[in-house]
Amino acid sequence: MKKDQAIKLFEEQKVRTHWDEIQEEWFFSIIDVVAILTESPRPRKYWSALKSKLKKEGSELSQDLGQLKMQAEDGKMRITDVANTEQLFRLIQSIPSPKAEPFKLWIAKVAKERIDEIENPEFGFDRLMETYLNKGYSKNWINQRLKSIEVRKELTDEWEHRGVEKGQEYAILTNEITKAWSGLDVKNYKNLKGLKKENLRDNMSNLELVLNMLAEATTTEISKEKKPKTFNENKTIANQGGTIAGNTRKEIEEKTGKKVVNKLSAKDYLENKKSLE
């Protein structure tokens, strides 16, 4: 069972969900999930007892969970405990239920695959290749996508070497590069393609991927030469790398008369591919 399939099962069971635009996270009503997995006539009482148990065991899960107003059965908006995807799967592991077993098996499988990939990175690329093929991507696109992962890794290694902090600072620099080459920041680029949590690169055309790689590879090379010491210096270099690719994009658009950055997503590309077969 894949992650998206697991989430879909919850959606089919009418679990209340909320998409947070800022955090780019799905949040799920814990009470609804507990009711499905335990079939308890009193899911609130079950969850209250489980939360107390987790707290006594020293688990941080119950402390990290959030709350949101969601529509209750009576139609009113009421505060309810919610979990994001990662928290949800951690929670499922704490529920002794036959219905939870498929999810637990999936989690165990993913964990083993991750360990295998750490020991031998080639496994990760092989698995990615297989995943993209199963989704219907062309081999040419997949080769570009795998290359883009390699280019991205070289860039993040360079950022780490220059003292850039993972998380927010990586996101800011990525945004700077993307805006400089495409003319759109990451959020608006994803909005253009109608994406939410989906990976932006997985929804790029070959040409979009190539230009994104050029922007990131150029940023890496400039950084190696200039050896930035501050975050602002790294940000300036990110803009420079993206601008070089952006100039290339403009030249391509001038010669072809077509926009490189477009609203098409992977769904559109794959449907078009099927129609041509």
Residue whose structure tokens are 């951690």: 90
Pick the more confident residue, 171 or 127.
171
Asked if the model's pLDDT at residue 6 lies above 60, the reply is no
The residue type found at 164 is: V
Dihedral (CA of 178, 166, 141, 266) sign: negative
Encode pLDDT of 56-103 as tens digits.
Answer: 887 777 677 888 888 887 878 889 988 888 888 888 888 887 777 776
Confidence class for position 111, pLDDT limits 50, 70, 90: low
Global confidence as pTM:
0.63
Type and span of the H or E element at 66:
strand 66-71
CA–CA separation, 72 and 49 (whole Å): 21
Backbone conformation region of residue 14, classed left if phi is above 0, alpha if psi is from -120 to 50, else beta: left
**Count of other CB atoms within 10 angstroms of residue 220:** 20
Pick the more confident residue, 19 or 151.
151
Residue ranges covered by each domain of the chain: 3-113, 121-276
Confidence class for position 23, pLDDT limits 50, 70, 90: low
Average pLDDT over residues 171-187: 96
The residue type found at 205 is: S
- DSSP secondary structure letters along 85-138: HHHHHHHHTT---GGGHHHHHHHHHHHHHHHHHHH-HHHHHHHHHHHHHHHT--
Encode pLDDT of 223-250 as tens digits.
Answer: 999 999 999 999 999 999 999 999 999 9
163: phi then psi, degrees, rounded to nearest 5? 85, 10
Q: Annotate 32-49 with b (16+ C-beta within 10 A) or e (fewer).
A: bbbbbbbeeeebeebbee
Q: Are 78 and 70 in contact (CB under 8 A)?
A: yes
Cα separation values, 169 from 133, 166, 176, 232, 252, Å: 33, 6, 11, 10, 31
Which pair of tokens denotes residue 49?
């007892």
Q: Write down the pLDDT at residue 112.
A: 67
Q: Write down the pLDDT at residue 13.
A: 56
Asked if the model's pLDDT at residue 26 lies above 70, the reply is yes
For the ranges 8-17, 25-34, 141-150, 171-180, which has the lowest average pLDDT?
A: 8-17
DSSP letter at 45 equals: H
Helix (H, G, I), strand (E, B) or coil at 67: strand
Q: Are 64 and 236 in contact (CB under 8 A)?
A: no
276 Cα distance to chain centroid: 30
Q: Pairing state of beta strands 77-84 and 25-29?
A: antiparallel
Q: Write down the pLDDT at residue 241.
A: 98
Q: Are 237 and 184 in contact (CB under 8 A)?
A: no
Which pair of tokens denotes residue 90?
């951690």
Confidence class for position 271, pLDDT limits 50, 70, 90: confident
Pick the more confident residue, 182 or 105.
182
Helix (H, G, I), strand (E, B) or coil at 165: coil
